[in-house]
Amino acid sequence: MRALTSTSEISDEGAEYEDLSAREARRFMIICIVPVIVFLLLSSLLPAVIALTDSFRNLSLTDVFQHGQFVGLDNYRLALGEESKLYHSLWLTLIFVAIVVPAQFVLGLALAKILNRDFWGRRFWITILLIPTMIAPVVVGMIWRFMLMPSFGFMTYYLNKMGLFKSVPLFSDPTTAFIALMVVDIWEWTPFMMLFMLAGLFSIPQDPIEAADIDGASTWQIFWHIELPLLRPMIILAIMFRTIDASKTFDIVHVLTEGGPGNTTELMSVFAFRTSFVSWDLGIGAAVCLLIAFFSLLVASIFYKVVSRETVERAK
């Protein structure tokens, strides 16, 4: 856009020059944009087309005789049928997201309120507290597997002393296994929320807060009636980021429970992974993946609309 305005400004120097520079700008634009198009064609569009065609074929490795045959919509029927575990995994993912994201938000905001003041080594402390978010999720999973290992884990030892999980190990009970996964996710991602909320608190104007303070409003009133409404756009953005990310949770489940016991902790991504690479039914796996991709894009585009509306409202 800027190129067009600047060329029009110097247009009085001659139409020929303008024509030349516009052509040069156009050529450079093409040079800039062709690599990304070629790259995306090869890395995502081509695989998607292959996956789409394979989702109509029988690719079950256990079914040697029928292997590779065109089966029409059978894979989709199986993926969406009554016996399908897809719904179960979507339901689990929904519960998981509905609990971890609000928990991370409340804890992150509380931490941000605590850290939102001047003290020695502030930036250092904030960076240190981000370690759970920055290190690899697979390492997070292994750390907690070690801490919560039956009998010998550091946490298990003290939990056992308190009389907890003595007869049934933590990860053998569906409910406690699911709760443990949520606790680990909250531990991992609360610092991210904290960072977000700190940036928000830093950016909001201080005048209304000072004015309310002078008028004798309590700290709680200031927080509830002034700071929180001002933080609204930031909160929506943060919750959107976390919701999209939390719905994709894979690593910690893969390491801690592998979706078990049974399939009681099989979140969406874990279910899709296990259908393809544990049961080795790649045809159904492809169908499941495309359905999940479609479903997530739908949710994401709704979020995207909400966020753009927020920013427009903010600009008014």
| Interacting residues with other proteins between 280 and 299 (CB under 8 A) | 282, 285-286, 289-290, 292-293, 296-297
Nearest distance in Å: CB 7, other proteins: 8
User: Rule CB under 8 A: is residue 10 a binding residue for other proteins?
Assistant: yes
Residues 6+ apart with CB under 8 A from 170: 148, 150, 156, 159, 176, 177, 180
Quick one: which of 12, 16, 70, 151 contacts other proteins (CB under 8 A)? Answer: 151
Quick one: which of 65, 70, 152, 220 contacts other proteins (CB under 8 A)? Answer: 152
User: Taking Cα atoms as reference points, which of 299, 291, 255 lies closest to residue 85?
Assistant: 291
Nearest distance in Å: CB 142, other proteins: 6
Quick one: which of 76, 165, 178, 196 contacts other proteins (CB under 8 A)? Answer: 196
Nearest distance in Å: CB 25, other proteins: 6
Quick one: which of 105, 178, 231, 254 contacts other proteins (CB under 8 A)? Answer: 254
The CA-CA-CA angle for residues 133, 142, 95, to 5°, reads 65
User: Rule CB under 8 A: is residue 101 a binding residue for other proteins?
Assistant: no
The residue among 178 and 255 lying less far from other proteins, judged by its C-beta, is 255
User: Rule CB under 8 A: is residue 91 a binding residue for other proteins?
Assistant: no
The residue among 137 and 185 lying less far from other proteins, judged by its C-beta, is 137
User: Taking Cα atoms as reference points, which of 52, 86, 90 lies closest to residue 286?
Assistant: 52
- Cite the beta strand spans of 232-314 per DSSP E: none
Q: How many residues would you count in the chain?
A: 316
Residues 15, 33: Cα–Cα separation, whole Å: 27
Quick one: which of 8, 11, 19, 42 contacts other proteins (CB under 8 A)? Answer: 42
Residues 62, 281: Cα–Cα separation, whole Å: 8
User: Rule CB under 8 A: is residue 20 a binding residue for other proteins?
Assistant: no
Residues 21, 277: Cα–Cα separation, whole Å: 54
Residues 6+ apart with CB under 8 A from 5: none
User: Rule CB under 8 A: is residue 192 a binding residue for other proteins?
Assistant: yes
Q: How many CB atoms lie within 10 A of CB 313?
A: 10
User: Rule CB under 8 A: is residue 70 a binding residue for other proteins?
Assistant: no
Which token pair is 271?
A: 């279910």
User: Rule CB under 8 A: is residue 48 a binding residue for other proteins?
Assistant: yes
Nearest distance in Å: CB 246, other proteins: 11
Nearest distance in Å: CB 233, other proteins: 10
Residues 15, 19: Cα–Cα separation, whole Å: 6
Region 117-136 residues binding other proteins, contact defined as CB under 8 A: 117-120, 123, 125-136
